[in-house]
Structure 1
Amino acid sequence: MDETTQTPQEMKSDKGAAKMAQIIYFLYLATLVIQIAHFVGAVMAYLNKDENSPWIETHFQYQIRTFWMYTLYLIIAAVTAFAGVGVFVFLCAAVWLVIRCATGMKYLYREQAVPNPTTWLW
């Protein structure tokens, strides 16, 4: 969004929401060490997804989608662990999560919307 058309209150609100989106990306990365961080990040994304500028709302939508897809990948990893490929699936999911968070943060720092927040890739 063009900052020249925003009121000072809207700019302050955008900065706060952008900071929250940044915290959620870091929580998602922290989930590789502390699993509960993933759920905390998802709750925060759901609580902050509305009443923001459209470009920030795409980040929260992207983060919510990331939560559900990563959870699905973890379930697949658990189910396939008995076949011996669960560790490989988990490692692929972890790499996917890191790339997805890095991509989201790149757009966040540029103050741009995520181009396709519903994608399964990054």
Structure 2
Amino acid sequence: MPSVGARGDARDEAPSTPPARRSATPAAGRAGHADAASVPAETPPAIDTTPSVEAATPRKGAKAKAGAKDAGATNGKSAGGETGGKRAAWDLFRVRPSVVNVKLIYSAYLASLALPLVAIIGVLYAHQALRANPSAWLASHYTYQVRTFWIGFAANVVALILSFVGIGLLLYPLIAVWVVARSVKGLINVAQRVEIEDPNGFFI
């Protein structure tokens, strides 16, 4: 049988093994931490902030559209300027229908016996006044004036042709009397604010 002293020695030697194992664990932990510290951290990829060539340079199609728009705007402005100029020139011939206007046209017809070109101005104003949508009784006077001019003009052409035969010379005085009679009748009616009963008629 073993002795008591031998058992005590065995007990004293038995716990000496675990401390060696404990010391191995911290060493391994330190080595792991050292290895982890030695590995460099991954850096995030760099972001390219340089604008691409496509983004910085406009597309050819966009340039073409912009050029077409600019050309259209320029043409529109030029066309608008030309139209505005034509309208401004046309406004000079615009006539506001009025009693005074009607009287002036009749007076121009009377003066045309000495100055034939004055009748042309009168009929132009009569045409413009009709386009301005005058009242019914004023419209009858303007129609009467237009008819007076064109009938008188046609009669003068016929008289000119017949003058080569010798008959036309007799027509000129009759045409003058006819123009004076219609003009005087128109002046009387417009002074009384009365319309012309038959503005499209050939006679007085």
Which bracket does the TM-score occupy, shorter chain normalised? 0.7 to 0.9
Q: Where does residue 117 of structure 2 map in the other structure?
A: 36
Q: Return the match for 1:47 from 109, 119, 128.
A: 128
Q: Where does residue 195 of structure 2 map in the other structure?
A: 113
Q: Scaled by the length of structure 2, what TM-score is found?
A: 0.51
- The whole-number CA distance in structure 2 between the counterparts of 1:20 and 1:87 is 33
Q: Where does residue 177 of structure 2 map in the other structure?
A: 95
Number of residues paired by the alignment?
Answer: 108
- Structure showing greater radius of gyration is 2
Q: Does 1:62 align with 2:159?
A: no
Q: Structure 2: where are the runs of 5+ without partners?
A: 1-96
SS at match of 2:151: helix
Residues 47-81 of structure 1, C-alpha deviation per residue, up to 9 Å, x if partnerless? 11132111001000000000110001100110010
- The whole-number CA distance in structure 1 between the counterparts of 2:118 and 2:191 is 22
- The whole-number CA distance in structure 1 between the counterparts of 2:110 and 2:202 is 18
SS at match of 1:82: coil
Q: Scaled by the length of structure 1, what TM-score is found?
A: 0.85
Q: Return the match for 2:168 from 86, 108, 113.
A: 86
Amino acid across the alignment from 2:195: A
Q: Where does residue 26 of structure 1 map in the other structure?
A: 107
Amino acid across the alignment from 2:163: A
Amino acid across the alignment from 1:26: S
- The whole-number CA distance in structure 2 between the counterparts of 1:84 and 1:31 is 24
SS at match of 1:114: coil
Give identity over the alignment, percent.
Answer: 26
Q: Structure 1: where are the runs of 5+ without partners?
A: 1-15
Q: Which has the higher contact order (CA 8 A, sep 6+)?
A: 1
